[in-house]
Amino acid sequence: MNSKAKKVALMGILSGLAFITMLIEIPFPLAPWLKFDLSETIVVYAMLIGGPMVGIVVAGGKSVLHFILSGSNSGGVGQVAAFIAACAFSLPVYYIYKKNKNIVMGLIASCISLSIVMILLNWVFLTGYYAKLFNIVPILNLIEKGGMDYFMFIGKTYGAFNLTKAVLVSSLYLVIHKYLKRTYIV
């Protein structure tokens, strides 16, 4: 990537493509308010061809476009979570692939990273904020009660969701990796 204009154009195109991919949502059977999308595949590709900043901008771009063009039934919580999830998934792939060119090891690390980051983020902030915003009494009761019940709810719900999502995204990326790897900068 030689010129700044090419990098900006690339970020715009990939943000748009990631946004379109984000529109294809699949409800998670165990928690139907959570929906899978495979837009992290575009963010991983953006990082591998343009570096971490390009990937982070694409992750932010897709979330902002989604918020502006699709609205939010979560008060923006979903888009913030999508941005953080995309970064938590994509950064390990980038750094591991850069170091040893092993995409499988990078994707495994990304699955673990995404699951841990999103469990912690939901436990500390996102789920509580969402429950207060929409007065979801059962979750508010779990938070008020404290202890392991709330953490176990978060771990089971968001752990299962994010690990499943990470495996799906990783599987898709493994399929397309052999066709894309010649374009990587790392």
Q: What is the model's pTM?
A: 0.91
pLDDT by residue (tens digit) across 45-80? Answer: 999 999 999 999 999 999 999 999 988 877 788 899
CA distances from 63 to 6, 91, 121, 131 (A): 22, 17, 17, 21
| Sequence spans of domains, the chain | 4-183
Q: How far is CA 125 from the centre of its chain?
A: 17
Q: Can you tell me the distance from the alpha carbon of 109 to that of 181, in angstroms, rounded to the nearest whole number?
A: 19
Q: Can you tell me the distance from the alpha carbon of 90 to that of 36, in angstroms, rounded to the nearest whole number?
A: 16
pLDDT by residue (tens digit) across 97-142? Answer: 999 999 999 999 999 999 999 999 999 999 998 889 888 899 899 9
Q: Which CATH class is domain 4-183?
A: mainly alpha
DSSP state, residue 125? I
